[in-house]
């Protein structure tokens, strides 16, 4: 009898341990935009407009963002004007509840086959921004655009708290204006220190068909912009 009681208590302790031990967060998806042939929509909307979201409350405090963004680059020796470089971002669920994220690189995958059908989808954009130590902005090419439709489960990923997706893409440093003198004439060296940052934006989108067969796209920001920590980087001109 004593032996059975001990086994019973041990089983209860083990069950309690299983129920209280947190599940280790994990990577849910890895997307390599450098190796994917991105397919555009066959029918781009004729018109469109977008709206923002309120990112603060009456007390002046902003709500905590549900996602966190981090940035890595492969150019250990710095960025060279006009030369492509690989970079990687991680989008992590930093909240205490599940978050659904678009995870398809091709907008064609959320477009219905029926050209007269209205549809809803979600989109996300990760944009690079850079500036020199003197504060002058440097234009960057190579955003990451993601698409997902609630009606097409394979285009969305649900991140549990602590889980993340990782995305690889290519960027390029270019002059802000092709007519500008570049590099700036006031630089005293061809190697200048600066920072590189990634910004994440999430949208709810809908496409409707008007009576005259034109289409309209309405986009609304789901949350405020999310920034990565700036990376110290050397720009080579």
What is the mean predicted confidence (pLDDT) over 48-67?
A: 68
Phi–psi pair at 5, nearest 5 degrees: -65, -45
Q: Which residues pair with 218 in a beta bridge?
A: 49, 206
What is the mean predicted confidence (pLDDT) over 195-221?
A: 92
Give which of 106, 145, 155 is closest to 124, Cα–Cα. Answer: 145
pLDDT in tens, 101-158: 999 999 999 999 998 899 999 999 999 999 988 888 888 998 999 999 999 999 999 9
What is the length of the chain?
237
* C-alpha–C-alpha distance, residues 41 and 215, integer Å: 13
Does 58 or 206 have the greater pLDDT score? 206
HSE-CB at 77 with a 13 A cutoff on CA atoms is: 5
The reply to whether 86 falls in a domain is: yes
The reply to whether 19 falls in a domain is: no
Q: Using an 8 Å Cβ cutoff, are 212 and 55 in contact?
A: no
The domain containing residue 99 runs over which residues?
25-41+64-230
Interior angle at CA 52, CA 50 and CA 54, nearest 5: 165
pLDDT of residue 192: 87
The reply to whether 54 falls in a domain is: no
The reply to whether 218 falls in a domain is: yes
pLDDT in tens, 164-194: 999 999 999 886 666 666 666 666 677 889 9
The reply to whether 68 falls in a domain is: yes
pLDDT of residue 168: 97
- Total domain count, the chain: 1
Q: Using an 8 Å Cβ cutoff, are 49 and 206 in contact?
A: no
* Mean of per-residue pLDDT scores for the chain: 84
pLDDT(95) > 90: yes
pLDDT of residue 21: 41
pLDDT(18) > 50: no
pLDDT of residue 195: 95
Report the predicted TM-score, pTM, of the whole model to 2 decimal places: 0.82
What percent of the chain shows pLDDT beyond 70? 79
The reply to whether 122 falls in a domain is: yes
Strand, helix or coil at 7? helix
* C-alpha–C-alpha distance, residues 97 and 162, integer Å: 9
The reply to whether 55 falls in a domain is: no
Q: Please state whether the peptide bond connecting residue 183 to the residue before it is cis, i.e. omega within 30 degrees of 0.
A: yes
Give which of 147, 184, 16, 160 is closest to 92, Cα–Cα. Answer: 160
The reply to whether 92 falls in a domain is: yes
């Amino acid at each position: 009898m004593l032996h059975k009681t001990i086994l019973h208590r041990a089983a209860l302790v083990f069950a309690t341990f299983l129920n209280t031990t947190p599940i280790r967060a994990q990577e849910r998806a890895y997307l390599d935009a450098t190796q994917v042939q991105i397919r555009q929509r066959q029918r781009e909307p004729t018109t469109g407009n977008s709206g923002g979201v309120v990112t603060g409350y009456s007390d002046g405090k902003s709500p905590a963002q549900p996602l966190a963004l981090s940035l890595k680059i492969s150019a250990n020796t710095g960025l060279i004007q006009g030369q492509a470089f690989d970079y990687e971002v991680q989008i992590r669920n930093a909240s205490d509840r599940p978050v659904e994220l678009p995870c398809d690189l091709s907008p064609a995958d959320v477009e219905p086959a029926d050209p007269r059908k209205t549809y809803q989808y979600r989109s996300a954009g990760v944009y690079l921004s850079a500036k020199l130590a003197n504060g002058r902005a440097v234009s960057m090419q190579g955003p990451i655009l993601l698409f997902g439709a609630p009606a097409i489960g394979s285009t969305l990923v649900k991140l549990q708290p602590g889980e993340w997706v990782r995305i690889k893409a290519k960027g390029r440093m270019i002059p802000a204006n092709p007519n500008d003198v570049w590099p700036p004439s006031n630089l005293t060296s061809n190697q200048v220190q600066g920072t590189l940052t990634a910004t994440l934006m999430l949208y709810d989108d809908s496409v409707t068909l008007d009576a005259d067969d034109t289409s309209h796209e309405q986009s609304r920001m789901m949350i405020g912009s999310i920034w990565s920590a700036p990376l110290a980087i050397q720009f080579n001109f």
